[in-house]
Each structure stands twice: as C-alpha cells, then as structure tokens.
Amino acid sequence: MASPLLFLLSVLLLASHPVSAIWPVPKSYSKGSSVLYLHQNLQITYNGAFVPYVYGYVPLNSDSKEIVTAGVSRALSSIFADKFVPWMITKRNKLAEFEPDVYKGQTWIKNLQIVQAGKDTASTFKPLAGEVDESYNLTLSTEGDVKLTAVSSIGILRGLETFTQLFYQHSTGTFWYTPFAPVSIQDAPKYPHRGVLLDTSRNYMGVKDILRTLDAMAWNKLNVLHIHVTDSQSWPLEIPSLPEVSREGAYHPSQVYTPQDVELVQKYGSQRGVEVYFEIDMPGHIGAVALSHPELIVAYNKAPYWWWCAEPPCGAFKLNDTAVDNFLDKLFDDLLPRLAPYSAYFHTGGDELNMNDSMLDEGIRSNDSAVLQPLLQKFIDTQHARVRKAGLTPITWEEIPLEWNVTLGKDTVVQAWLGDESVKALTGKGYKVIDSNYNFLYLDCGRGQWINMDNGGAYQTFYPFSDWCDPYKSWRLIYSHDPTYNLTEEEAKLVIGGEVAVWGETIDPVNLDSILWPRASAMGENLWSGTTDVSGQNRSQLEVTPRLNEMRYRMVARGVGASPIQMTFCTQSDSFDCSYPIS
C-alpha cells in the first residue's frame, strides 16, 4: 500500500539520523539543521540575575533560585561530563558524517536566559496532583541565543532536562554541540501524576539506590516516587518513638532508613521536582510488626499461607483492638509530621486483606464480611483522619472501596491495580485514581516463580514455574497502555496519572536499574506526552524506538544500568531495518 503514511514515514526517517531524541517527546517541537556549540563559560541568567555554573551544586534551601541553580548545574554537568559521543546511534563507522567539522569554526551559544513567569509557592515542591504548572518553552536561535521560560521552577527543571538532550559530545573530546538549531519547543504534561512504586520491604534498597532512581526519574520527567516502605517481610523504617519496630523488624541493622535518610530522600526528590511519598501497608501486609509487637498481629507466618494471605509470611492488624489504635497513634504522630514538609500524600495501603485472618483474632473470631466491613470502615476512617490532621491527603489501594465497600472521603486518591474495570468502577464512584494496572505496569512480572515447588505435586502443577502475572511487560506493551481505556470523558478527568510498580521479591539494588529502565521511561512518555501524535494516531514504534534507544544510552552514560531494548545493529540503522514490513 503506497499510503501517505508510508511516504511520511520514509521522509521522517530519511530526514534525520539520528533523530533528535527528546524523551518524553514535547507537545510541539520544531528544529533545524544548524550547529551550535556549548562552552562551559556561557552566560546564564535567571530572571535577569547571573547564575553561576558550578559542578555538583547542591541547593542551600528550596528558594527558587537555588533550585534553578542546581538544575542548571545538573544539566550542564550531564552535557560536559557524561561523555555522550553518539557513535552507537549513528551509522556504523560513519560518525564523522554526523559530527560537525570542528575546524570549520564554531557558532557558540552566547547565553542561556531563564525566565520564570510565575512565583513558586509551598505547594510547588509538594503538590497535590495538578497544583504545579510544569509547562515550559525553550528556544535556541541559529545565532546562539537560548531562552527557557516557565511558570514554576519545576517547569524550568523540566526544560533544562530537555535542553541536555539536544547535545552531544564531539569525538575530539573537547567540544559539545547540537546539530538541531534553530529549536522551538512548547511543552506540558498530559497527566500530573507520573510515578514509580518502589518496594523496600521484600528486599531493601539503599539510600544511594533510591537517589539514583530519583535522578533517572527526573531525566524522564517522572515526578512521583511512591515508597512502599514496609510489608510483612521486613520493616526497614526507624521510628524513634517505637525503636523496637525496626530493631526487630528490619532484616539487619544496616537495612534501616533513619529519619535523616527519609528527609534526605524526600529533599533530594523535591529539589528535582520528584515528590516522594510513603506507604505503610495495612491492615494486611503488616506481619513484620509481629516481631516486636506480637500482641497486635494475627496470622503471623501462619501456614499454609494461601489460606491467610497472598505470600509468606502472613500477618494482619487486629481490627477490633484498642492496642492497635494506640500503636498507630504513636506511629503516625512520629512519622507524619516528618513527611508532611516534603509531600502532599500518605498511602495507607489496604490491598489483599484476607477475611480469614480475623478468624484467629480473639476479639472477633469471624471471617464474615458483614461482621468485618464495619470494623474496617472504622479502621480506615480513623487512620485517614490522622493523615488529614497531619496535613496530608490519603491514598489507598482499590480493594478498600471496591471489595470492602468502605466509603472514603472525596479527597482520597485510590490506586487501582486489578485492571481497566477497576479504574472504570472507581472513577464511576467519583474517586480520583492512580492507574497501576498489573497487566501493563507491574515491572516485576514475567520472570518466573520465587516460591519453591516441591516434588510432592506442586512441581508438576506449577511447571514451567511462571509467576502469577506472567508475561513480562515489555516497554512496547507499557507504551500501548491507555490509563483511561473505556472511560467517559467525565471519568477520564479523575485519572490523575499512573505508577509503574517494582514489587521487590526478586529485585534488589543489583538488578533494580535494569528492571526499571528504560521501561519506566516508556511510561514516562505515555503519561507526559500521551501515546498518540498530533493527528490522533498512535505513535509508530518506528518513530519511538530510536528516541528510546538514545534515551537509554544517555541514561547509561549518566550512570544508570538501563537495559538495552535492541542490538547495536538496530540502533545504528534506520528503524525500518529492524521492523516487520508495513503492509
């Protein structure tokens, strides 16, 4: 079929190699083919005031100028220090055809003029979804004038990340250039909540691994890190007023987040426009508390686990015991005031509570939902009131309203994981929703069972040992996902965004990067740019893949172990060479 599409596509592919690979792709983008060079002592101004380029600048506080100065430092350092020479995305052994001839003279970028049109407020650095304007405009003239404008300092950080992606290091090693001037970009995100869920209970993630993840998120314009900090397996969170909980519940004294660690992680994220919020999953998924407070927990490590919970060790809070309430009062009084300066949300969990657990509770002795439902309603009401009292907005998993029919405050955000139907049902009830559809967004899936299958029959039953959410979710599948699938326009407005999830049973700092990246990048573009182009067509993988390849190589250059999505043969070729033919 000699379609106009095919014609367009071939023009697109012939026009530039490599593509100018802004990731996620801006809302509107035009570029030329003039070369501009960048020098380390270019002049930078922010609202007219001089801004120095200092390598590794750390903001002194969350003053807008400090935030922007540090953003400039990170952007320029990534251009000058990461040595990204693009041989792997240009034709084999033909890099010289792509690179400018440095002996022909240079047009230098003269200045980087940053203008912030609006004023930052307290919520700029810990917004509820939609409270911060992340839009920006970026222009590079052929003469070397660069202008970046935004309403908020977060918009400026987004624009600076885009700026870095225009540049390459020359193979001589001493020049940095963009071949794409003049450039004009207008950009803004589609969804305000673009997140990653990190599980630090099944396997611990070090502070430096979390900080690296926050950096990589900022490069991809992802803006929310949800730390599922505790679960039944371990409690790595130090609570000074309840020191026994992490002392007994952490895997090892070295696998604990101190209050200083928590603040560092939140502050580090906030300075990059990535809001870090925490989840204490309850009333199920809380077994680790039994190691210090056995009196509060039922069914701890009870066998066979599948009658009491989803995976070992089981353990749930007693739902009709004032001691649990007193414990949570103390816990939240200690924790929430420390989290509130840096985030707007707190997640109280609520997934996979097994009705059988309360059979073992001497204060209840029932698994009848008619008995349990009012107790759970009261439990959620009490915890959410505490969250609100600390100035935070509660988030829960979908089972609380959908399976248990618990009524939630209208401010509550509900995280859906069981599929499109859940998002439909929740938005139908008027709840704001974060989409984490496991069929698309669970990055741990498809890598095999971690449960041992003994020879007694389980071996045969479970052969070939696929996990519950098999298959693996490739970046292509993630990219194809529409968080508002089958919703009315009104319902769609309630979807604030999505989170990819990294459940940690077989993931720790050793393989974290390769599990997350670049698949979280794919969701980053999905949520920032949407998956359709200006004409409303799905973006073609032939257009998307070269950009994601380049982004992946840039991430590797910046110190993140992102997986390859193709072989070098493909990254050095036109996308056509690694594609099924267009019919």
Ligand X SMILES: *[C@@H]1O[C@H](CO)[C@@H](O)[C@H](O)[C@H]1NC(C)=O
Residues of this chain that bind ligand X (CB under 6 A): 117, 135-137, 149-151, 186, 307, 320, 354-356, 363-364, 367, 369, 371, 373, 375, 404-405, 421, 424, 480, 482, 486, 538
Cα-based distances in Å from 530 to 24, 119, 186, 216, 412:
9, 28, 15, 20, 25
Residue 530: CB minimum distance to ligand X, A:
11
Kindly list the catalytic residues: 352
Tokens 């519940």: give the residue.
249
CA distance 148 to 554: 22
Nearer to ligand X, 58 or 451 (CB): 451
Return the number of the residue (356 or 514) whose C-beta is nearest ligand X: 356
- Specify the residue, 351 or 482, whose C-beta has the smaller distance to ligand X: 482
Residues near 76 by beta carbon (within 8 Å), at least 6 away in sequence:
38, 40, 53
* Cα 83 to Cα 74: distance, rounded to the nearest angstrom: 14
Q: Compute the least distance from the CB of residue 194 to ligand X, in Å.
A: 19
* Between 210 and 478, CB nearer to ligand X: 478
Burial 528-540 (b: 16+ CB within 10 A, else e): bbbbeeeeeeebb
Encoded amino acid at 95, one letter: L
Neighbouring C-beta atoms of residue 414, cutoff 10 Å: 26
Q: With CA atoms as reference, report the closest residue to 562 among 531, 520, 518.
A: 518
Minimal distance, residue 247 CB to ligand X, in Å:
30
Contact criterion met (CB below 8 Å) for 215 and 554: no
User: Please, what sign has the CA dihedral across residues 436, 437, 443, 449?
Assistant: positive
Phi, psi of 41 (to 5 degrees): -105, 40
Compare residues 60 and 117 and give the one whose CB is closer to ligand X: 117
d(CA 311, CA 323): 26
**Comparison of 571 and 575: residue with beta carbon closer to ligand X:** 575
What pairs with residue 280 in β-bridges? 230
Token couple for 439: 């069929």
DSSP secondary-structure letter at 22? -
Which pair of structure tokens corresponds to residue 277?
């919020």
